[in-house]
Homo-oligomer: A and B are copies of this chain.
Amino acid sequence: MLNTNQNRRNMSKDRLIFVSNDDGYRAKGFAAAIEVAREFGRVVAVAPAEPQSGRSQAITMYEPLFLEKHRDEPDVEVYSFTGTPVDCVKWAFDHLLLNEKVDLVVSGINHGSNSAINVLYSGTMGAAIEGSFYGCPSVGLSLTDHDPNADFEAAKHYAREIISSVLDNPLQDGKPLCLNVNVPNIPMAEINGVKVCRQCRGIWREEFYRHEDPRGKPYYWLTGSYTNYEPCAADTDEWALANGYVSVVPVQIDMTSYSQMSHLERILK
């Protein structure tokens, strides 16, 4: 996938890569994403001040947001922002980098899978999708391991390859690529390669853990498990991950169900 020429061409410091995530600026996976991104250009990174998993495309409308700068090197700036992942992207594109051309958004590397329906709940993918709203190619990266000390070596290797390819081919038909990349949590030698897939159908069924607070007031706490509706379909991201592949799903932002439009026109007549 990556040859020496591509590699050399990609190492331009003229390039600007924006990095965010949803696990917060202290996460090991965020450092891993910055480490890979800076191989390809100057990095500006803005991540949530606290973990924001499951925040989807959420924006913060009712609260002021506070910013803090954590790294200020010639080719790497890192900030934390008290909002959601999407707030981080918006602040970067509409404020800090307003007059700059961003070449790529990298979001992650997430601690935990964002395959299948998770693309819609994920703050990591929220940030990647927001990047594509701004016309910027974007790559959301996730490792299927929730451990705060997860081993990101294999994920970094594939991140590097995929980022290199996207920088060389950022658009298709004028549309920026927005990729949902998931890396299985297995030793790198056992990974079978990269597989382009579609989003698997399935659902999270929740079990609300019910308990009482110290004053006897009942509360609920979300927990759940994923049910795969099509475990045998070999073209899905879930299948790819279960079979040792890095899954890559191209994501689009038009939610229109075109196939239902004429049916709908008939029933609303």
Q: Whole-angstrom distance from the CB of A218 to the nearest CB of chain B? A: 7
Indicate if the CB atoms of B220 and A64 lie closer than 8 Å.
yes
Contact B120 A265 (CB under 8 A): no
Q: A65-B220, A117-B253, A134-B203 are in contact. List 17 more A-B contacts (CB 8 A).
A: A1-B268, A54-B58, A54-B60, A63-B221, A66-B220, A87-B222, A90-B204, A94-B224, A133-B204, A169-B267, A172-B259, A175-B257, A250-B264, A251-B255, A251-B257, A252-B257, A252-B260
Pair A257/B268 contact, Cβ less than 8 Å: no
Secondary structure dominating the interface of A: mixed
Residues of B near A56 (CB, < 8 A) are: 55-59, 86, 126
A8 on interface, CB distance cutoff 8 Å: no
Question: From residue A21, how far is it (CB to closest CB) to chain B in Å?
Answer: 15
**Could you mark each residue 238-269 of chain A with 1 if its beta carbon is under 8 Å from any beta carbon of chain B, else 0?**
00000000001111111111111101110111
Cβ contact of A94, chosen from B57, B66, B178, B205, cutoff 8 A: B205
- Partner-B contacts on A (CB < 8 A): 1, 51, 53-67, 83-84, 86-87, 90-91, 94-95, 117, 119-121, 126, 129, 133-134, 161-162, 165-166, 168-169, 172-173, 175, 177-180, 194, 196, 198-199, 201, 203-208, 211, 213, 217-222, 224, 248-261, 263-265, 267-269
Interface contact B268-A67, CB-CB below 8 Å: no
